[in-house]
Amino acid sequence: MLGQMMHRPLSIIEILKFASDNHRNAEIVSVRTEGDIHRYSYSDAYKRVAQLAHALDRLGVKQGDRVATLAWNGYRHFELYYAISGMGAVCHTINPRLSAEQMTYITHHADDRVIFADTTFVPILNALSAQLPQGMKIVVMTDRDHMPASDLDLLCYEDLIADCPDTYDWPELDENTACGLCYTSGTTGNPKGALYSHRSTVLHALSLCISLGRFVQEGTRILPVVPLFHVNAWGLPYGAPLAGASLVFPGGALDGPSVFKLMDDEGVNSAWGVPTVWLGLQGEINKNGRIPRGFSSVVIGGSAAPRAMIQRFEEAGVSVCHAWGMTEMSPVGTHGILPKAQQDTLSLTERLDLQQFQGRRVFGVDLKITDDAGTPLPHDGVAAGELFVRGNAVVSGYFNNPDASAASMDAEGWFGTGDIASIRPDGFLMIQDRAKDLIKSGGEWISSIDLENVVMSHPDVANCAVIAVPHPKWDERPLLIIVPAGEKRVTKDEIDTLLLKHLARWQLPDAIEFVTELPLTATGKVSKLTLRQTFANYQLPDMG
């Protein structure tokens, strides 16, 4: 027997309408490419989103069309998220740090009709113009006074929307209608597209507000350093308006001093981003001898948060949530906010013992780990295997890519994450490594994350990465690459002594190399692929 309830399709534009009606005191603050700060309310945004939807109609955008963005975090990008999906088209966020070749590939693969770009990225479009899809219109996200010079036929965002009505008759869409497209930059092969729906996005936003509810609340001021061009800025453009939190968009200046100043000026309470960004902020906190005004929580995800980084924040009075997820999961899969009882009673060391892991699943996500034969392994905190996920906001395949889709799903329809993990009986996920980053030594596995975690606690280490180097006898052995914190170079003996407190001797790195910085991927994570290429012919000491 079916329930006798109305069916109202889940719809993204309803989130903004809700915020516009109910959260009148919240605001969106943006550092603009024009150089100033812009601020307005969700109600103002809702009106401009309607104007923008009319402008998209005028540009000839139809339901199902892909509309690309190439932009920093700012209010116009936020408006595009809602206007494009609200009218039934698909918002395709492009990561500006991708190579020209990848960008050309994805604009063609997505068949983008229009691209909206920040002034900063017009030079990229100038350089790529011959390779872009034919007839693709280019809109620059600024006003007439700030339009850049270019040989391209550029349209101006503010001109386009200026005389459009500020209400729009939003179509009632099937809740499974596609709303967003985000390509994940695989380490091999072409990028693959995750195609989100209204239903998956709304459910993800609701679950974000529940699971991370202590950080996403009415009245809090949230800084998404995580970009709108990468997995929907972890769902914040939807979760914050739902909850009534304010959004502070940082534009393109993501270095420690700029982030510190913006947080201080705007009284940011909660800041979200990858570990690399927080290294910069922690440097600035040290320099200033204080945390930014109002700063009380940080969400660290995208790659493993080093224990030492979590400790520094917690000691400064900033609550840390270590989160795990993927582009293919919209993205949040687990969160490390501790159960209240533990948060209130455990000592700092006991808390860190838990917080260094990736936390518990959010509602709507199921986790399983399997052995090589696909047999599920127990959640006993010991057994480790490939992590599979399923849920309302997890992809069922990749956009227009049957081969990659088939390769990523198991026979029961779970998505293979490519991460190796254990799950504790209390539900805490422990990511050991990306499968390809694990180091296989003499038939045993060494986790690069475990090694890095310990090395990062050394005061003379600013950042580090461990990679596998081919070895004739052991197959692979770990090489430790360190960015020193100052002049002093830590010795191998010092590192070994430190590591031996936590790990077995055979797991210790065979050698240390020093570099001034680590290469980053387009999403701001340490690029182990680049490091493995750089050190492909590295001679470890006992290789003769």
Q: How far apart are CA 421 and CA 145, in angstroms?
A: 53
Tell me the HSE value of 7 on the side-chain side, using a 13 A CA sphere: 8
In the region spanning residues 433 to 492, those forming contacts with ligand AMP, defined by CB under 6 A, are 434
Q: Which of residues 222-251 bind ligand AMP (CB under 6 A)?
A: 231
Q: Pick the closest to residue 324 from 430, 232, 414 (CA basis).
A: 430
Q: Does 97 bind ligand AMP (CB under 6 A)?
A: no
Q: Which of 28, 449 has the CB closer to ligand AMP?
A: 449
Q: Which is nearer to ligand AMP, 142 or 453 (CB)?
A: 453
Does the footprint of ligand AMP cover residue 220 (CB under 6 A)? no
Among 304, 332, 367, 446, binds ligand AMP (CB under 6 A): 304
- Asked whether the bond before 292 is cis by omega within 30 degrees of 0, the reply is no
272 included as an active-site residue: no
Q: Which of 232, 269, 303, 422 binds ligand AMP (CB under 6 A)?
A: 303
Which residue, 182 or 205, is less far from ligand AMP as judged by CB? 182
**Distance of alpha carbon 277 from alpha carbon 256, whole angstroms:** 7
DSSP strand pairing (429-434 vs 415-423): antiparallel
Q: Which two tokens stand for residue 535?
A: 């050190």
Q: Measured between alpha carbons, how far is residue 409 from residues 140, 226, 290, 374, 423 in Å?
A: 39, 27, 47, 12, 20
From 328, 368, 452, 521, the catalytic residue: 328
**If binding is defined by CB under 6 A, does position 125 make contact with ligand AMP?**
no
The DSSP code for 292 is P
Give the binding range for ligand AMP (CB under 6 A) out of 108-116, 301-309, 451-459, 480-488: 301-309
Contacts of 4 (CB under 8 A, 6+ apart): none
- Residue of the chain from 238, 324, 398, 535 that contacts ligand AMP (CB under 6 A): 324
Tell whether residue 320 is a contact of ligand AMP (CB under 6 A). Answer: no
Catalytic residue check, 328? yes
Residue nearest to ligand AMP (CB): 327
Which of 302, 306, 509, 524 forms a contact with ligand AMP (CB under 6 A)? Answer: 302
- Of the residues 104, 314, 445, 534, only one is catalytic, namely 445
Looking at the Cβ atoms of 297 and 358, the one nearer to ligand AMP is: 358
Residue 372 three-state SS: coil
For the chain, how many residues are written?
544
287 is catalytic: no
CA distance 47 to 35: 24
Residue 196 CB, shortest distance to ligand AMP, in Å, is 13
Nearer to ligand AMP among residue 291 and residue 395 (C-beta): 395
Q: Which stretch binds ligand AMP (CB under 6 A): 12-20, 29-37, 86-94, 326-334?
A: 326-334
Q: What is d(CA 64, CA 87) in angstroms, rounded to the nearest whole number?
A: 9
Radius of gyration for the chain, computed over Cα atoms and rounded to the nearest angstrom: 23
Known catalytic residue: 476?
Answer: no
- Phi, psi for 337 (deg, rounded to 5): -70, 125
Pick the catalytic residue from 33, 93, 142, 184: 184
Q: How far is CA 535 from CA 235, 462, 463, 472, 515, in A?
A: 37, 20, 18, 15, 12
Interacting residue ranges for ligand AMP, rule: CB under 6 A: 184, 231, 301-304, 322-327, 331, 358, 417-419, 431, 434, 523
**Which residue numbers are catalytic?**
184, 328, 440, 445
